[in-house]
Amino acid sequence: MKLKDFLVSEGTEKNLAELILFLSDQAHGVRKGFLCTCMKDSVDEKTRNVYGEEQMPLDKYADGVFISGLKSSRLVRYIATEEQEQVIEVENPKNDFGVVIDPLDGSSLIDVNLCTGSIIGIYPGHVLGKGATMVAALYMLYGPLTIMAFTTGKGVHEFVMDESGEFVLRHRDIRIPEGRIYAPGALRKDYLPAHARWIGDLEQAGYKLRFSGCFVADVHQILHKGGVFSYPGFKGKERGKLRLLYEANPMGKIIHEAGGAISNGNTDILDITPRAIDEITPIYVGGKKEIALIEKFMHEG
């Protein structure tokens, strides 16, 4: 079943369905940029984004694809992306949606041809709201297959791009299984005590380490195989590293709708009201069992 037909069959609100279809179409533009940008050897022309992190040319290219498209379509009122310092307000919008976008997650892996992705959250209004208020969340994964997974609060569904460029249904109503994979960010020498005990417990239980350096790819694997992803607070960065708006909330919404959970180690991330678009947070996302365990260790101190 094609994505458009699926959205209709699920009774997705018309304006939201139009936006999801539009965003999924941007995968073509981003993938085109892989060739247009990387084949010119410009992968080494690195700059810095608003967070001081290394920024590949394809980061900026992907950011431009989403922003220019959304401005032209006028399907949303507010646009916030990881590459921009401020929220963009679209002139004369057709809808009041706000979108948060990590245009190209895992871009540091481009030069070695590993998996990257785009992460998107959709709010009913301004983007500085709790993640729980999102009306939809989705991600695109650019790997051997181009995949899109999304939720509108009625389960998590995965689509794959076929030879004609259409997204067709691959998995309906995905549920995160029991599994023993863990994807741990940060250096072991910098772990804080509660997190170190948690990692030790997982390893004693036989969890296998799987960490690629692409957040969306690692969480996609957890969604299908079970386990947990973490990028904790650590020595020198006790507040964490990943972004609440662009990474934690959309992926947390998807995992939550698949029967999992997301936490900063103390509380459900989806219940946090952001103070700014650049807010960072520790992240634990995956199975409920693993999330309950880190919260137990954190509360014990």
Q: What is the pLDDT of residues 46-62, one digit of tens each?
A: 555 554 555 568 889 99
For 186-244, how does the pLDDT look when each residue is reduced to its tens digit (9 = 90+)? 999 999 999 999 999 999 999 999 999 999 999 999 999 999 999 999 999 999 999 99
Whose tokens are 């001081």? That residue is: 52
Confidence of residue 40 (pLDDT cuts 50, 70, 90): low
Structural domain count of the chain: 2
Residue 121: Cβ-neighbour burial (10 angstroms; 0-12, 13-18, 19+): buried
Q: Are residues 97 and 153 in the same domain?
A: yes
Average pLDDT, the chain: 93
Residue 39 domain flag:
yes
Q: pTM score > 0.95 for this model?
A: no
**Percent of the chain residues topping a pLDDT of 90:** 86
pLDDT score for 55: 56
Asked whether residue 147 falls in the same domain as residue 208, the answer is no
The parent domain of residue 228 ranges over: 181-300
Whether residues 21 and 155 fall in one domain: yes
Domain boundary among 149, 171, 193: 171
For residue 99, give the nearest of 69, 143, 59, 56 by alpha carbon.
Answer: 69
The verdict on residue 268 lying in a domain is yes
% residues pLDDT > 70 (the chain)? 93
Which among 153, 171, 189 is the end of a domain?
A: 171
| pLDDT, position 108 | 82
Give the mean model confidence (pLDDT) for residues 6-29: 97
- Tell whether 291 is covered by a domain: yes
* 90: CATH: 3.30.540.10
Cβ contacts of 36 within 8 Å, gap of 6 or more: 61
Residue 95 shares a structural domain with residue 114? yes
Identify whether 176 is part of a domain: no
Q: What angle do CA 24, 29, 32 make, to 5 degrees?
A: 130
Mean pLDDT of 31-39: 67
pLDDT band at 3 (very low <50, low <70, confident <90, very high): very high
CATH number for the domain that contains residue 200: 3.40.190.80
DSSP letter string, 139-178: EEEESSSEEEEEESSS-EEEEEE-TTS-EEEEESS--PPP
**One domain for residues 218 and 271:** yes
pLDDT of amino acid 270: 98
Alpha helices in the chain (DSSP H): 3-9, 14-38, 57-73, 193-204, 215-225, 249-257, 288-300
49 and 153 in a single domain? The answer is yes
Regarding whether 156 and 23 lie in a shared domain, the answer is yes
- Are residues 108 and 193 part of one domain? no
**What's the rounded mean pLDDT across residues 122-135?**
98
Residue 44 has pLDDT above 60, yes or no: no
Q: Is residue 125 domain-shared with residue 28, that is, in the same domain?
A: yes
